[in-house]
Structure 1
Amino acid sequence: MLAVLSVEICKLNRSLALLLAGAAPALIAIFAFAMMMRSQRPSEWSMWIGSGTAIWAYFMMPMCVTALTALVAHMEHAPRSWDHLRALSVPRWTLYASKAVCVIGLVLIMSAAMLAMTIGAVVLGGLIKPETAAAGRLDLAGHAWTLAKVAAAAILMIAIQFWTAIRFASFVPGLVLGIGGAFFAVVATSAKQGVFMPWQMPVNILATEAWRVQTALTLGGGLGLVVLAAAVIHLARREG
């Protein structure tokens, strides 16, 4: 498994995945910096980091997961290399499990990068415009823990997107699913039924109602791992 995983990491290093991993968090940081430049008075650290986390969980993460899963799948679909990979003397499930681990790992890296870049943007904004410098204490551990829970709640969404992207040779089904899921998650934000939508579970971690947070962690994280395992087993048993 470790050998297969190292190969997948090398493949990602030669792809556009790292560009995406840097660009998406940077956009949120740029937005925070622009808002500081427009602001006329200081705001709490919790407001700046909370806003960045909300944008990440609400919109940017679902779009990034859609793009990442499509990219990871396309690396094998485009050159038609699945037959070669399945003929290797390694358990088939490791081929798919390693790709899933890479996607989840990149989501975690992007979450950390978003936090670091947003902090950097706020600090830079405060240096350029001291009257808007962030006030209060920066609870770095608390914000990091929140982002970790957001990532955990996203596992079900990642599993569904991953399963679809690998299952179909065309990238269109995965893109349609991701865009459609994000769209309905946005329009159903205030609906109680929306809490059961995989694409809405990450942002539900930020909800004030405890039951929404617990549901997101239980279904997004717990059920997500089950669905991810089912996806790996199903894909490993396929011949075509």
Structure 2
Amino acid sequence: MPVVLAVELRKLNRSLALLLALAAPTLIAIFVFFNMLRGEKPQPWEMYTQGAAAIWAFFMLPMSVTALTALVAHMEHGPRAWDHLRALPMARWKLYAAKAVCVLGVVAAMSVLNLLLTWGAVNLAATLKPAVAPTGVFDLTGQAILLGKVLLAAILMIAIQFWIAMRFSSFVPALAIGIGGTFFSVVATAAKQGVFFPWQMPVNMLATEAWRVNTALGLGCGLGLVALAAAIAHLSRREVI
């Protein structure tokens, strides 16, 4: 497994995955930066960090997962390399498990970058325009915990996107599901049933009701791990179409 994982990491280094991992958090930081410069009065740190986390969980995370899983799958679909990989003298499940670990790792790295770049954007804006310098204290621990929960709640969504992207050689099904899931998440933001919708589970980590947070976290993480294991088992037995 470590060897397979190392190979997958080398593939990521040669792909556009790292560019994607940097682009999404950077866009959020740019938005926070210019939004601060538009202001006239100082706001608490929490307003900027929570705002960045909301943008990430609500829109950028689902779209990034859609693009990332399609990209990781296309590294094998494009050159039609699955026949060669599946013929290697190793358990097939290891191939898919390594890819799943890489996807989760990249999403985790993007979460960390979101936190760091938001902090940098706020400080840069405060330097250029001291009148809007944030008040209070930057709660690094609290924000890190929040983004960690967002990641855990997103595992079910990641598992669904991963399975579809790996199952079909065309990137259309994965993109259609990802765009559709994000669309319904946006238009049904206020729906109470959204806590059970995989694409809305991450943003529910910012909810004020404890039951929504706990329900979305439990379902997103618990069912997500089960779904990811089931996807790996299913993919290792099926042929790509």
TM-score by length of 2: 0.99
Instruction: Tell me what 1:208 maps to.
Output: 208
Report whether the alignment pairs 1:218 with 2:206: no
2:107 & 2:198 partners in 1: Cα distance?
Answer: 16
Instruction: Tell me what 2:161 maps to.
Output: 161
1:166 & 1:52 partners in 2: Cα distance?
Answer: 30
Correspondence 1:142-153 to 2 at 5 A: 142-153=142-153
Give 1:239 shift.
Answer: 3.5
Give 1:221 shift.
Answer: 0.2
Correspondence 1:122-201 to 2 at 5 A: 122-201=122-201
Instruction: Tell me what 1:118 maps to.
Output: 118
1:69 & 1:169 partners in 2: Cα distance?
Answer: 12
Q: How many residues matched?
A: 240
Give 1:167 shift.
Answer: 0.4
User: What CA deviation, in whole Å up to 9, does each residue of 1:68-124 have, x standing for no partner?
Assistant: 000000000000000000011111000000000100100000000011000000000
2:229 & 2:219 partners in 1: Cα distance?
Answer: 14
Q: In structure 2, the residue corresponding to 1:201 is in which secondary structure?
A: coil
Q: In structure 2, the residue corresponding to 1:200 is in which secondary structure?
A: coil
2:121 & 2:9 partners in 1: Cα distance?
Answer: 29
Runs of 4 or more consecutive aligned structure 1 residues displaced over 3 Å after TM superposition = none
1:176 & 1:209 partners in 2: Cα distance?
Answer: 31
Correspondence 1:1-240 to 2 at 5 A: 1-240=1-240
Q: Structure 2: which 5+ residue stretches go unaligned?
A: none
Deviates more, 1:104-113 or 1:189-198: 189-198
> Between the two proteins, what is the percent identity of the paired residues?
67
Q: Structure 1: which 5+ residue stretches go unaligned?
A: none
TM-score by length of 1: 0.99
1:9 & 1:224 partners in 2: Cα distance?
Answer: 23
Give 1:152 shift.
Answer: 0.1
User: What CA deviation, in whole Å up to 9, does each residue of 1:112-165 have, x standing for no partner?
Assistant: 001100000000000000010111011100000000000000000000000000
Give 1:189 shift.
Answer: 1.2
Please provide the CA RMSD for this pair: 0.6
